[in-house]
Structure 1
């Protein structure tokens, strides 16, 4: 299994370099457990989802706590057939057989309810893609039902679902959507945009 994310952080300030460089320091506690590579476009994080999503949460929260309008764009993938297996990506989330949908929804809701609080409010829109199986829409509709009960659901949009709430609960919701829906060994991707401190009226 291979799982990872390509992320780009956009602070809307003239001092964007300082905000980005400071936020990236939030990844330091993960560097011995994730493969992290930064270039002039994005940062790649490779590793299991149970580390990947907390790392994304922490880097985004660090930027958002500056008070400037901050946006994180991410392409997140697991099980891509074009990527080689990597031992660093071994995950308890994706071990074992695929449980019935209702059990997976229940486990996902429990995980979100126990998510750590950051005291940082954010909004997100994302799209979940379950690849390569005949009944992929059953998984997507099952995920949508979970999202509507998660406490972070805000609205359905064209091509995406909008979430909002404490950043801890929001990234826990995304982690559960990524891991609980679609076969454990299957190819699943998320297209994600997260925003905090936007000047737009809600």
Structure 2
């Protein structure tokens, strides 16, 4: 099943070119497990979710080390009917979508609790879209229940849920939201915006 993300990093600095190019170098250790293509708008990252989200985490952390306010936007997708299957995308592990919703919520929370910490606090907001799935609202509500008990939940907002915490658990929360809910064979999209080193406490 095809899975990947289009990712863009935005450092709020006059030195944005060096920060972005330096951050992209953080993806080098992942090149044997991801297909990477960078253009003037974004970096395409194609691969299994358990590789995709740690690689996105490393990209964002590399940019945040500058200390300047940095944001990142990612559109993440799996099972898109317009994309061909790619063997590189085969997941090694994932919460079984056939499990009852309550069991998936607990399994996803357990995964976040054991995520490694990075020392960098970040904020995020996400929206999950289980596409072409008859009971999509049950899956969305289940995901929201997971997020509220994840330990990274900040608050509910219109059209999205806000997270805050160490980058390790936050990115694992995103990974679990993406893989633990919706149809296992269906098209799932996740829209994510992240921020670090913001001068605003909001």
* Band of TM-score, shorter chain: over 0.9
In 1, Cα distance between equivalents of 2:15 and 2:125: 26
The runs of at least 4 aligned residues of structure 1 exceeding 6 Å deviation read none
| Alignment correspondent of 1:144 | 144
Deviation at 1:106, TM superposition (A): 1.1
| TM-score, normalised via structure 2 length | 0.97
Asked if residue 104 in structure 1 is aligned to residue 104 in structure 2, the reply is: yes
Secondary structure of the 1:154 match is strand
In 2, Cα distance between equivalents of 1:153 and 1:187: 25
In 1, Cα distance between equivalents of 2:96 and 2:157: 33
Question: CA 1:95–1:201 in structure 2 vs 1: closer, same or farther (change >3 Å)?
Answer: closer
| Alignment correspondent of 2:92 | 92
- How large is the RMSD of aligned CA atoms in angstroms? 1.1
In 2, Cα distance between equivalents of 1:47 and 1:185: 16
| Alignment correspondent of 1:170 | 170
Question: CA 1:97–1:125 in structure 2 vs 1: closer, same or farther (change >3 Å)?
Answer: closer
CA contact (8 A) 2:96 2:180 kept: no
CA contact (8 A) 1:80 1:188 kept: yes
Secondary structure of the 1:73 match is strand
Listed one character per residue, the Cα deviations across residues 132-163 of structure 1 (whole Å, up to 9, x for unaligned) are 11110000000000000000001110111000
Superposed counterparts of 1:37-186, under 5 Å:
37-94=37-94, 98-186=98-186
Deviation at 1:18, TM superposition (A): 0.8
